[in-house]
Amino acid sequence: RPGARAAARPRRAWGPGSGLMFFDISAYQQERFIVTTIFNLLKDGPRDVIGLEWQPEDGRAIRYLKPPDGGSVRRYIAAGTGYTEAAKTSFKMETFDNVPVDFLEWQMGATLQLKSQTVDVALCTQRSIERLGQKGLKEALKESARVLKPKGQLILIRDDADKRPLPEAAAALFETSATLSESGLAVSQLVPRQKRPASAATQARRRPAAAGSARRPPPPRPGTSGRGRPRAGGR
């Protein structure tokens, strides 16, 4: 549909970019939309993927990763702190697919013990975003940009049970050009077709910049400021 295509037209932001997606959807469509969208994002990627999740509270997000053509999750990494042995055992039992799960200790101010460009998909749920806070989210996002492969995806999932607006930490992230540039984000927007309002997803793919360069936002049009508004005194 013309309207649907227009809604899914990419909107670029600053930076060379890792993938980024926000889900904000109604209860009856949540699981289907997340699984279908992630499946479509992965269909042109590797057959077997390595996943990373920031500060997860359980293993349910692993089930969203279903690579096409009989692929599998080769390794799943839970990055965070405060996991007891009992919590780790429970987490692994929830995956159902015998996915190898590794827990990597990580907290603000530390570097995740993963090599650069080794992860296919990184995830973070809304509850994790709220636990991380603004500073923790920014650090996790920067680390995601480092460890994601050139065509990797970073996906942030909103909890449908939480009817509040997206966390201020996430909103502030998009408004902070320095964080976008440092994290290497290129953002576009996808909106699922449905009758009920307030549903949206934002996604972007990582596009490596040329060596020694960084992608910058396009220059403003004549007669406008850098944000596209007429300058004082302009027509």
- Which residues make beta-bridge pairs with 153? 121
Model confidence band, residue 153 (pLDDT cutoffs 50, 70, 90)? confident
Model pTM score: 0.61
The answer regarding whether domain 2-203 maps to CATH 3.40.50.150 reads: yes
pLDDT of residue 52: 93
Of 26-30, 120-124, 171-175, 231-235, which one has max mean pLDDT? 120-124
The residue among 179 and 103 whose pLDDT is bigger is 103
Distance, CA of 163 to CA of 160 (rounded, Å): 7
pLDDT on residue 30: 65
Residue 64 has pLDDT above 70, yes or no: yes
Q: Are 124 and 55 in contact (CB under 8 A)?
A: yes
For residue 43, count CB atoms less than 10 angstroms from its CB and return exposed for 0-12, middle for 13-18, buried for 19 or more. Answer: exposed
User: How many angstroms separate the CA atoms of 8 and 98, rounded?
Assistant: 35
**Which is higher by pLDDT, 218 or 100?**
100
Among 19-23, 71-75, 119-123, 206-210, top mean pLDDT goes to 119-123
Q: Percentage of the chain surpassing pLDDT 90?
A: 10
pLDDT at 137 over 80: yes
Do the beta carbons of residue 144 and residue 111 sit within 8 Å?
no
- Asked if residue 140 has pLDDT above 50, the reply is yes
Would you list the domain boundaries of the chain?
A: 2-203
More confident: 218 or 127: 127
The CA distance from 36 to 41, in Å, is 9
Q: Which residue has the higher pLDDT, 168 or 107?
A: 107
Band (pLDDT 50/70/90 cuts) for residue 93 is confident
Q: What is the pLDDT of residues 179-221, one digit of tens each?
A: 545 666 555 444 344 444 333 344 444 444 332 222 334 445 5
